[in-house]
Structure 1
Amino acid sequence: MTDHAKTAAAVLTGVGGEGNITSMVHCATRLRFVLKDEGKADAAALRATPGVITTAQAGGQYQVVIGNDVPEVFAAIQAATKGGGSDTRAGEAPTGNPFNRFIRMIAAIFTPVLWALAGTGLLKAFLAAAVTFGWMDTTTTTYTILNALSDAFLTFLPLALAITAARYFRAAEFTSLAIAGALVYPSIVALNGQPDITFFGIPVTMVSYVSSVIPIIVIVWLQAYAERFLLKVLPSAVRRFLTPMIVVLIAVPLVFVVIGPLSNLLGTTLASGIGWIFQTVPWLGGAILGGLWQVFVIFGLHWGFVPLFQLEYQTTGSFLLFGPVFAAVLAQGGAVAGVLARTRNRNLRSLAAPATLSALLAGITEPAIYGITLPLKRPFAFGIVGGVIGGAIVATGGVFTRAFVVPSGLALPALLGNGDMVLLAIGLGAAVVVPFVLVVLFGFADPVDESVAAAPAAATDTVVSNPVDGTVVPLAEVPDAAFADASLGKGVAIRPTSGAVYAPFDGTVVAAFPTGHAIGLRGVDGVELLIHVGLDTVKLGGQHFALKVQSGAEVKAGDLLLEFDGDAIEKAGYDLITPVIVTNGDLYPDIADAASGPLSHGETLFRAVSVDSLSTAR
C-alpha cells in the first residue's frame, strides 16, 4: 500500500520545496503545480518516487501524475505545507503564453468541481438506465428525489463556478454567489425566451443560465477588478457594504444585456459546428476525437475540453462529444489487456493487471499509458487505432449522453437509449478488441524480467557507511516530525563536523537535487538511501551547496557526492542536522547495529535489514 505522506513529502522535495510552489490543484489523476522556477524541479527524483507514475510539463503547469490516489496525496501535501495548496490566483502575475495561461485558468476553476460533477453525473446515468429498463417509474416521489440529487449540481453549476472563479480571480466569493444566484433565480429562468423584456428601457434578450459556464466566469473576472477599484475609492465607513451592492447592481444587468447573449451566441455557434461535423461526416469527427483524446491526456490538456462539453450541453441538452471519448478510453484498456495477455515479464504483468481494471472500469488511463503502453510504443499506437475505429463507429450511431460522467465502463449506463445502441456496442467492442488483438498478434519489445536481479539477494542485508564526518544521533532527535517519527524511512541523523558528503556504498545516484541539499542513492543490492543535509535547506535554492555528481551517475563507496558550507548554512538560520534514511521500507523494513557518537565518513553507520533476512530469522 502506498504511503501517501511519504509520497507527498518526496513530491514536495522533488518540485523544489514549498517555497517554489506558486499554486497547486489536482484533477482526476495528477497534481498540477505552478512553480516559481521549474528548473528547481527534479523530474528523475519525482519519477523514482513510489506512488508517482511520471511527470509532464504542459499548459503552463508542472504536472506530477499520481493516478487513482491523487486526492490522498494532495491532502497529505496540504497537511504538510503552510499554504496548504491553493488555486492559482490572478494577483500572482500569471506568466506564459496565452494558451498556457488559459489552460491554467481552466484547470484552477474546473478541477475542484469535477469529481462532484462526475459523481452526480454517474448517479444520473444509472437513474436514466433504471427508467429505460422499466425498473423505476418517473411519476414516483422516489424518482423525483433521486432526480434532484443527480441533476441539481449540474443545473446550478454557475454557483459552484462562482466560488472557484472567485478564488482564482481573488474576488469576494459571496458576492460572486449573489451574482450567480441571480442568474439561476426561478423568476429569471422563467423569462428565458419571453419577448419584450427590458431593463430600464434597455432591450434584454434573456437566455438560459442553467448549467452555463462562460457568463459567470467572465463576470467574476470583471467583478475582481471592480472590487479592487471600489475598495480604493469609496470611504472606509461605507466601502464594505456599498462595494457588493454596486458590483451586483452593475454585474447582473451586464450579464443579461451583453455577456449572456454573446456567450449564448458563442455556445450556439460551437454547438452548431460540432453538430454539423457529427451529422455531415460523423465518422470523421468521431475518428479524430477518438484518436487524439489520449494524446491530450499525455499532455494533461484533456480537462481543457470541459468548457466545450458544457457549452454543448447548455445549447443542446446533451453531450455528443462524450461518445468517441468512451471509445478512446476503453481502447487503451484493451491495449494494456493485450500486454497483460502477451508479456512474460512478471513486473510488467503486475503493473498491467490493475492498469487494465483502472482503464476499463474507472476510465483512469494514466497508469496504463505512462506505465505500460507508451513506454512499449506499439501498444499505445494500437490503442489509438482502436480509438479511431471505435470513435468513428460510435459517432456514426449518433450516440450521446445527458449526464456529465467520466467515460468508463462503470459509466456506460449514461449512453443507454441515446442513439443507435447496435453501433454503440459494435464501436465500443471494436475499441477494446482491435487493440487487444493487435497487441497479441504483433507484440512489442517485451522487457527482460529483471525482478530477481533487481531485488535484494535472499537474507542479504546492506552495510551503510557513514557519508559525512560528524556525531551520530537517533532519528528521534531531528526537530522535524516527518523525519523524527520515521514516516519517511528508518535511519539515523548526523550533526556534521565537515562539509563533504561521500557515497556510503557502491550504487547509482537516483536523485541529485539541483539545490544540492539532498541526494538519493540506490545500492547494488537494492537499498535506497536519502541523505538530507539540514532541515528546510531547499529554501536556500542551492546557495552554499556544490553538487559533484548528477542523477544517473554510478558511484563507488567513498566517492565525493557534494560539498556544503556548514557555517554559512547555520548563519542563514538553518539547522544542519542531516538525516540518513532508508526510503524503500517495503524491501528494507528495519535497520540494525546503528552507530552513535562521533564517527568519520567511511565507518559503518548502520545495517539495512532486508525483508528476506527478517523472514529467514523468523
Structure 2
Amino acid sequence: MATASKHQVLADDVLRGVGGPDNVASVTHCATRLRFTLKDRSKADKAAVEGTRGVITVVESGGQFQVVIGNTVNSVYEALTSAHELRSEGVVQGGLFAKAIDLITSIFTPVLWTLAGTGLLKAFLAVWLKLDATAPTKPTYAILFAAGDALFQFLPMLLAVTAAKKFKANVYTSLAIAGALIYSATVAVIPGAAGASVTLKAFADGGGHLTFLGIPVVMVSYLSAVIPAIIAVYAQSKLEHLLTRVLPEAVRNFITPLVVVAVIVPLTFLLIGPASDWAGKGLSHGVTWLWNLSPIVGGALMGGFWQVFVIFGVHWGFIPILVQDLSTHGYSLITGPLFAAVLAQGAAAAAVFFKTRNKELKQVAGPAAISGILAGITEPAIYGVTLRLKKPFVYGVIGGAVGGAIAAAGGSAAQGFVVPGLITITSAVSIGNFTLQLIGTGSAMVIAFVLTTVLGFKDLPAKGEQAASGAVESEALTLAAPAIGQAVPLSAVPDKAFSSGAIGQGIAVVPAVGEAYAPIAGELLTVMPHAFGIRADNGLEVLVHVGVDTVALKGQHFSAKVVQGQRVAAGDLLTTFDLAAIEAAGYNPVTVMIVTNPGAYSAVVPVAAGEVAKGEVALDLVG
C-alpha cells in the first residue's frame, strides 16, 4: 500500500478538523492560506486545526475559516481537492466588505504567483537596464522583456477565465469578450487618417470619429485593464443565465454565445469600459494625490500597518488599486513602503532565531526569517514567531513605519507586480530615489532586529532549561478536574473531535454542578462563554470545553467570570452554567479538559475515576 504524502496527511487532518467534507461549502486558497467557507462553523474545531502539524495558525475573517499553511499551500490544496470532491466556490457569509475581499481573492489568486514571477523577471531586467543603457536595443533583452511583460499586458484574458469561474459564466465566451478588448489595441482593423489600417484605439486617438450604431464610443486602453474585463464577465454571466431560461434547447448552444458577444462587447466599449476606466483612474489619482500631500505620512502608515492588513486578509483590497496604478503610471506608490514592512518582520524573526533558547521555536524562526526576507512571504514569520511572541511583531511594525516613511519620501515604488522581498527590491531601481529605498528598508530591518534583540521578549521555555521567567520546568505536573461530577474517559464523549484524541489527550467530567474551574495557573488565551484556553508559564496549553456543540447556544445559559488575557490560578471559577436549561435545549453538558499543547511533557495520563471534587487531581503529565 502506498504511503500518503505529507501534504495529503496534512490535508486530511485539516479537513477532519473543519468538520469533514460534508461541512465544507467551498474551499479556495491564496498565497499561504486555505480559505474554507463552512456550512456549520460550530462543527469546526479551531484548536484542533491549529494544533495540526504543518498548520501555522487559523484566522477567521471575511466569513471564511482561513488555515494558514505557508509556502506549501498549493500542494496541500491539490491534495485536498484531489482526494475529496469539494467545491471551489460558495456563498460567503458576512457583509459587503467580506464579499468584496472574497471576490478579489477568487479572481486574482490563481494568477498571483505567475504575475509575481514575471514581475521578478522584469525586476532583473531593470537592473540590466541600469547597468547598460543600450540593453533595450539588444534582442536578448527584448525577448526577455516580452516574456516578463506579456502576462501583464494581456492580464484581462487571464482574469476573464478566473472571473468566469467565479461568476459561473462560459469561460470561452469570456475569453472572446476579453479578446475583443485586447484586439482593439493590438490589431489594425480600420483605415486611419493616412489611409493605412490602424487599431480602434489608434483610430480614436488620431481624431477618428468612432461610433457604434451612431452612438459615440469613448475608446480607452484595455491592455492591462482589469476592472472592465471583470465587470464585462459579470454582465455576461447575467445575460447567459437569462438566455438559458428563455431560449429553446435546440438553439441555445450557439445562439447564447452569439447574443452575448454581440451585446457585451459593444456595451463594454460604450459604457462599462469608459466608466471603469474613469473609476480606476480616480482611485489611482487619489493615491497619488494623498502621497503628494505627505509621502512620509503615507509611507509610515503603509509601512507600519501592512502586516496588520495581512493578518486580517484585507490587504487583498489594495490589489485592484495597485494593478490600476500599474496600468496608468507603470508603477504604484503604495508599493514603495512595503519592502520595509515585509523585511522588518523577517528581521524580527531572525532576531528571535538568534536569541531564543527554545529549539522548536528556533526551528520555526530560521526558515520563516529566510522566507520573509528573501521571498517576502511573511505569514510563517508572523504567525509562527513574531505575533506569537507579541513584542517582536510590534518591533517589526515600528521598523516598517520608519523605513516606509523614508522610502516614500524618495518617491520609491516597484515597477511591475512583485511580492516585496529582498530579491525583488530591484524592481524599485528606476522609480524614485532607490538609495532612500535601500536606506529605508535597511533601517526597518535594523530597527526590528535591534529592538527584538535588546528589548527582548518572553521566550518560550526550553525543555529541561531555565525559562525566561526564571522558573525551572517540572519533571511532572498534575491538572485539577475542570468540574465537580463524574469523571469519564474522553472516548465516552459523544463528539469525535474530542473522543478520537485528535485535539489532544485529556479527560471529561459529567458535571453535577453548573461551574467550570481552571485546572492550572496561567494566562487565558481564549475566553468564550463555554470554552477556555489556558497557557501555563511553562508553555503547556489546556482547553476546558463545557458541553457538546454548545457553541450553537451563542452564550445562552452561560455566564463567563473571566476575560481574555487575564491570569488565573488553579481552581479559579471560569464560568457558571445552567445545567437544566442546557439539557432542556437538547445539549450534552459534559465538560472536557484537553491538553492541546503538552510542551515539554511526553505523556498525559488520566488518573481520576468516579466522583471528583473541586481541586481533585484528574490528569498527570510526565516529563
- Normalising to structure 2: TM-score of the pair? 0.70
The match for 1:322 is 335
Q: Name the CA distance, whole Å, in 1 between partners of 2:175 and 2:588.
A: 46
1:273 offset after TM fit, Å? 7.0
Distance in 2 (alpha carbons) for counterparts of 1:576 and 1:35: 25
| Secondary structure of 2:410's aligned partner | helix
CA distance in 2: counterparts of 1:235 and 1:566, whole angstroms? 60
- Give the C-alpha shift of residue 388 in structure 1: 1.1
Contact 2:218 / 2:274 at 8 angstroms: preserved in 1?
yes
Partner AA of 1:424 in structure 2: F
- Residues 341-420 of structure 1 correspond to what in structure 2 (within 5 A)? 356-365=369-378, 367=381, 370=387, 380-393=397-410, 395=412, 400-401=414-415, 403-416=416-429, 418-419=430-431
Aligned residue for 1:510, secondary structure, equals strand
Hey, what does 2:464 align to over in structure 1?
none
How far off its partner does 1:228 sit?
Answer: 4.6
- Pair 1:261-2:274 in alignment: yes
Report what 1:424 is aligned to. Answer: 434
Q: Residues 508-540 of structure 1: CA distance to partner in whole angstroms, max 9, x if unpaired? A: 473555362x44344576532234456555345
Read off the aligned partner of 2:324 and give its amino acid letter: L
Q: Using the alignment, how far apart are the partners of 1:468 and 1:27 within structure 2?
A: 46
Q: Of the candidates 293, 298, 302, which is equivalent to residue 288 of structure 1?
A: 298
C-alpha contact 1:509 1:550 (8 A) present in aligned 2: no
Secondary structure of the equivalent of 2:533? strand
1:234–1:277: structure 2 CA closer, same or farther, 3 Å change rule?
A: same
1: CA distance, partners of 2:574 / 2:327: 63
2:568 aligned to which of 545, 551, 554: 554
| Cα distance change of structure 1 residues 185 and 414 upon mapping to structure 2, 3 Å threshold | same
After TM superposition, give the deviation of residue 215 of structure 1 in Å: 0.4
Equivalence for 2:230 = 217
Q: CA deviation at 1:183?
A: 3.0
CA distance in 2, matches of 1:273, 1:448: 43
Q: Which one-letter code corresponds to 2:95 in the other structure?
A: T
Match of 2:504 in 1: 489
* Aligned-residue CA RMSD (Å): 5.7
SS in 1 for 2:95: coil
Residue 588 of structure 1 aligns to a residue whose secondary structure is coil
Residues 389 and 413 (structure 1), Cα distance of their counterparts in 2 relative to 1, 3 Å cut: closer
Q: Give the gaps of 5 or more residues in structure 2.
A: 1-5, 189-198, 462-466
Distance 2:535 2:286 in 1: 55
Partner Cα distance (2:175, 2:471) in 1: 56
Cα offset, 1:226, TM superposition: 3.3
**Partner AA of 2:113 in structure 1:** W
Mapping for residues 21-100 of structure 1, pairs under 5 Å: 27-28=30-31, 66=68, 68=70, 71=73, 75=77, 89=91, 95=95
2:476 to 457, 460, 468: 460
Q: Deviations over 1:259-296 (max 9, x none)?
A: 22333445556666777898xx6x95476235534324
**3-state DSSP of counterpart to 2:120:** helix
Matched, 1:503 2:513: no
Are the counterparts in 1 of residues 511 and 591 from structure 2 also a CA contact under 8 Å? no
Instruction: Give the corresponding residue for 1:614.
Output: none
Per-residue deviation, 1:222: 2.7
CA contact (8 A) 2:476 2:621 kept: no
How far the C-alpha of 1:384 sits from its partner, in A, is 1.5
Alpha-carbon displacement from aligned partner over 1:367-387 (angstroms, at most 9, x marks no partner): 467457867856633531222
Q: Secondary structure at the match of 2:621?
A: strand
How far 1:406 sits from its partner (Å)?
A: 0.7
Pair 254,293 (structure 1): closer, same or farther in 2 beyond 3 Å: farther
Q: Is residue 2:443 matched to residue 1:433? A: yes
- Three-state SS of the structure 1 residue aligned to 2:419 is coil
- Deviation at residue 490 of structure 1 after TM alignment: 2.8
**Shift in alpha-carbon separation, 1:457–1:219, aligned structure 2, 3 A:** same
Give the whole-Å Cα distance in 2 for the aligned partners of 1:589 and 1:149: 54
> Equivalent residue for 1:226?
239
AA at the equivalent of 1:388: A
Whether the 8 Å CA contact 1:335–1:373 is kept in 2: the answer is no
Partners of 2:178 and 2:411 in 1: CA distance: 36
Question: What CA distance in whole angstroms lies between the structure 2 residues aligned with 1:151 and 1:67?
Answer: 30
Contact 1:322 1:400 in 2 (8 A): yes
Q: Deviations over 1:534-574 (max 9, x none)?
A: 655534544666656554362534857454658966984x7
Which one-letter code corresponds to 1:254 in the other structure? Answer: L
Q: Distance in 1 between matches of 2:585 and 2:401?
A: 57
555-564 or 307-316, which deviates more = 555-564
1:597-612 equivalence runs, <5 A: 598=610, 600=612, 604-610=617-623
CA deviation vs aligned residue, 1:327-356 (integer Å, no higher than 9, x gap): 45445656777x669x97757995876665
2:460–2:539 contact (8 Å) kept in structure 1: no
Q: Which residue of 2 aligns with 1:616?
A: none
Aligned equivalents of 1:355, 1:400: Cα separation in 2: 24
SS at match of 1:429: helix
Distance 1:559 1:178, change over 3 A: same
Matched residue SS, 1:583: strand
- The letter of the residue matching 2:503 is L
Per the alignment, residue 202 of structure 2 pairs with 194
Tell me the CA shift for residue 389 of structure 1. Answer: 1.5
**Distance (whole Å) between structure 1 residues aligned to residue 138 and residue 455 of structure 2:** 58
Aligned length in residues: 583
The residue aligned with 1:583 is 596
Contact 2:515–2:576, Cα closer than 8 Å, also in 1: yes
Sequence identity percentage: 35
2:546 is the alignment partner of 1:538: no
Distance change in 2, residues 1:486/1:600 (3 Å): same
Give the CA deviation at 1:432. Answer: 1.3
Stretch deviating more after TM superposition (249-258 or 109-118): 109-118
Give 1:528's match in structure 2, choosing from 535, 541, 560.
541
Q: Structure 2 vs 1, CA of residues 261 and 508 (structure 1 numbering), >3 Å: closer, same or farther? A: same
CA drift at 1:459 = 1.9
Q: Which amino acid aligns with 2:321?
A: L
Q: Which whole-Å CA distance do the structure 1 matches of 2:569 and 2:15 have between them?
A: 26
Distance 1:512 1:335 in 2: 26
Partner amino acid for 2:476? T
- 2:597 is aligned with what amino acid? N
Residue type of the alignment partner of 1:294: G
Report deviation, 1:163. 4.2
Under a length normalisation based on structure 1, what TM-score does the superposition of the two structures give? 0.70
- Report what 1:514 is aligned to: 528
> Match of 2:196?
none
Distance 1:511 1:500, change over 3 A: farther
Partner of 1:159: 157
1:248: which partner in 2?
261
C-alpha displacement at 1:254, in angstroms? 0.9
Give how far 1:110 is off: 3.0
- Structure 1: runs of 5 or more not aligned: 611-618
**What is the aligned counterpart of 1:309 among 315, 319, 322?**
322
**3-state SS, counterpart of residue 194 of structure 1:** helix
Q: 1:593 to 1:76 in 2, by over 3 A?
A: farther
Q: Secondary structure at the match of 2:422?
A: coil
Tell whether the 8 Å contact from 2:342 to 2:421 is kept in structure 1 after alignment: yes
Q: What is the CA distance between 1:582 and its match in structure 2?
A: 1.7
C-alpha distance 364-455 of structure 1, shift in aligned 2 (>3 A): farther
Measured at CA, do residues 259 and 153 of structure 1 come closer, stay the same or move farther in structure 2, by a change above 3 Å?
same
